[in-house]
């Protein structure tokens, strides 16, 4: 019988978050496939685990994947870990999991830390429906295009961001979503300098620019969806619409007012018609 591929989550900073079942699996598998074997060796040494480590990336050459699949075929179990957190979440593993499933091998999760879920759990934003966007494109034009595609997203959005790009990303988010949109910056979670700042995008941008420490370490950014941002009072919507209706027809005024107030275009269109009566 073929072995099992265990997809094992590891801590995102605090080693105390290593789950007991992960330790048990890592102690007993034949091989551990890791992104960066040197980094993973340090983690394993800390827990006294002396396992065989091989490196694995989704772009690993075929011989490496074949070797792992061969190990499973011979009946030995394999554990997949990433540098930190849950494999496959902005980390390698998808191809290996898919290939194992295509061959009918068992794939089993050992759940544990994940920065996206940890950030969402303390964001103070609706968590009943959310979308994980991972890292934004590094080129500004592509980043803006992606954000524009999320303009009508009503679910809470979770992003990962590199510390040296957080200021630019907040600026692009302000340009697209508006500075009033609620968000939470979750930095260095589970570590000594853990920081969770719930604020508007505008205020987050100011705080991050004023304090260089906020541009360091590992960052997850949780941003409210449009429904939750549409908390502008009716009075303000009416005021904006009244001005716009002097210059343009109701459908255009509603579209522009939606952008200005974060309100829903359909709601604003109905309001525009009422105001015109």
Q: Is 115 in the site for ligand SAM (CB under 6 A)?
A: yes
Sign of CA dihedral 61, 65, 71, 76: positive
Q: Is 31 in the site for ligand SAM (CB under 6 A)?
A: no
φ/ψ of residue 139, rounded to 5: -80, 135
Q: Which is nearer to ligand SAM, 14 or 45 (CB)?
A: 14
Q: Is 114 in the site for ligand SAM (CB under 6 A)?
A: yes
Number of residues that bind ligand SAM (CB under 6 A): 24
Q: Which residues contact 213 (CB under 8 A, 6 or more apart)?
A: 193
40, 34 contact by CB (below 8 A): yes
Q: Is 190 in the site for ligand SAM (CB under 6 A)?
A: yes
Site string for ligand SAM, 56-95 (x = CB under 6 A): --------------------------x-xxx--xxx----
Q: Is 116 in the site for ligand SAM (CB under 6 A)?
A: yes
* Identified binder of ligand SAM from the candidate list 33, 150, 186, 208, rule CB under 6 A: 186
214, 208 contact by CB (below 8 A): yes
Q: Which residues contact 83 (CB under 8 A, 6 or more apart)?
A: 34, 35, 36, 39, 40, 91
CB of 239 to ligand SAM, least distance (A): 39
Q: Which residues contact 229 (CB under 8 A, 6 or more apart)?
A: 177, 178, 180, 181, 182, 262
> Nearest to ligand SAM by Cβ — which residue?
85
Residues at the site binding ligand SAM, with contacts judged by CB under 6 A = 12-13, 82, 84-86, 89-91, 114-116, 160-162, 186-191, 218-220
């Amino acid at each position: 019988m073929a072995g099992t591929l265990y997809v094992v989550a590891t801590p995102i900073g605090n080693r105390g978050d290593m789950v007991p079942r992960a330790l048990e699996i890592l102690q007993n598998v034949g091989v551990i496939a890791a992104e960066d074997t040197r980094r993973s060796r340090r983690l394993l040494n800390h827990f006294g685990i002396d396992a065989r480590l091989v490196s694995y990336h989704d772009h690993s050459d075929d011989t490496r994947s074949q070797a792992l699949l061969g190990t499973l075929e011979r009946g030995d179990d394999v554990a997949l870990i990433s540098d930190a957190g849950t494999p496959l979440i902005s980390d390698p593993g998808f191809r290996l999991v898919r290939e194992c499933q295509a061959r009918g091998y068992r794939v089993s999760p050992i759940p544990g830390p994940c920065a996206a879920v940890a950030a969402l759990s303390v964001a103070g934003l609706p968590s009943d429906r959310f979308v994980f966007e991972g890292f934004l494109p590094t080129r500004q034009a592509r980043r803006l295009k992606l954000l524009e595609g999320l303009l009508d997203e009503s679910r809470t959005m979770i992003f990962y961001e590199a510390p040296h790009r957080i200021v630019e990303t907040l600026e692009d988010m302000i340009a697209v979503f508006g500075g009033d949109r609620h968000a939470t910056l979750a930095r260095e979670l589970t570590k000594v300098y853990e920081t969770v700042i719930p604020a508007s995008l505008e205020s987050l941008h100011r705080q991050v620019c004023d304090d260089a420490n906020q541009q360091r370490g590992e960052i997850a950014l949780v941003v409210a969806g449009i429904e939750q941002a549409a908390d502008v009072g009716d009075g303000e919507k009416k005021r904006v619409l009244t001005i716009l209706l002097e210059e343009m027809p109701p459908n255009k005024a509603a579209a522009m007012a939606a952008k200005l107030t974060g309100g829903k275009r359909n709601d604003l269109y109905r309001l525009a018609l009422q105001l015109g009566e």
